[in-house]
Amino acid sequence: MSFKTSCKVPETILNRLFPVQCLICRRIAVFSTFMCRDCFHELEIYLDTPFSFKPEETPYIREVLSAYWFTPGLQVLVHHLKYKQADFIGRWLGERMGILTLNSEFARTGCLIPVPLHRKRKRVRGYNQSEQLALGISKIWKVPIVPDLIYRQVHTTTQTQMNREERQKNVSGIFAVKRKKVIPNSCVIIDDIFTTGATTCELARTLHIAGVDEIRIFTLGTPLTREGGNFLLNSDEN
Ligand SMILES: [Zn+2]
């Protein structure tokens, strides 16, 4: 990934030879193909349960974990992942998520289940961003992805103007398990941001009814910044 790890050429020379622009600060960078070293170090590790998770409402979910605070830098990366065709950012962030949790119970799960997109939305985007994250995590944890166990049977419109209750109502029954599929004993659901958690918890509920016993959720980000900023109501859950 980084030229610096494979040879000892100074960064200043590499900058001139292979100039790439950091997606976050727009300066020339060589740390990776899309982000400079400073912006990488400014991503803030959260690695805790998101505040919006309500365990008393979802006893079938063992644990929920989010890897990063929703810093402006992470927001830029998520925006490129979801709306600028930058699927590689998902795999790269997925690897970071995998490394952060390699020694946790999460990494000992039976399989990874990325939150499915409706086929219409997947066709427009060209890929599922949660699946890209799962690919990176799978590489580190050595756990298989099961992308075709469950599908989204209802195409939900944007939920940005809805409150928590409205979102819960809006996502009720949107997922269905495919017939003749082997139901795993345990899984970790992978998603980008745990906004209100309405979509992810509905997926967990559907998997629980289908017979999955041990369900955990792992998301790239929590919708909060360390300073208390909240992106809950202006971010979408698709
Ligand atoms: Zn930068």
Domain boundaries, the chain: 1-42, 43-221
**Kindly report the CA angle at 159 between 157 and 162, in degrees rounded to 5?**
135
- The owner of tokens 């992470």 is 74
Residues less than 5 Å from ion ligand 1, measured at CB: 22, 24-25, 36, 39
Closest CA to 166 of 124, 199, 193, 200: 199
Amino acid at 3: F
**Dist. CA 37 → ligand 1 center (Å):** 7
pLDDT score recorded for residue 164: 75
d(Cα 78, Cα 238) in Å, to the nearest integer?
A: 12
CA within 13 Å, CB half, 45? 8
Closest CA to 40 of 30, 52, 51: 30
**Dist. CA 152 → ligand 1 center (Å):** 36
pLDDT score recorded for residue 160: 67
d(Cα 207, Cα 193) in Å, to the nearest integer?
A: 20
What pLDDT, in 10s, does the model give residues 159-215? 667 777 787 888 889 999 998 889 999 999 999 999 889 999 999 999 999 999 999
**Arch. (CATH architecture) of 43-221:** 3-Layer(aba) Sandwich (3.40)
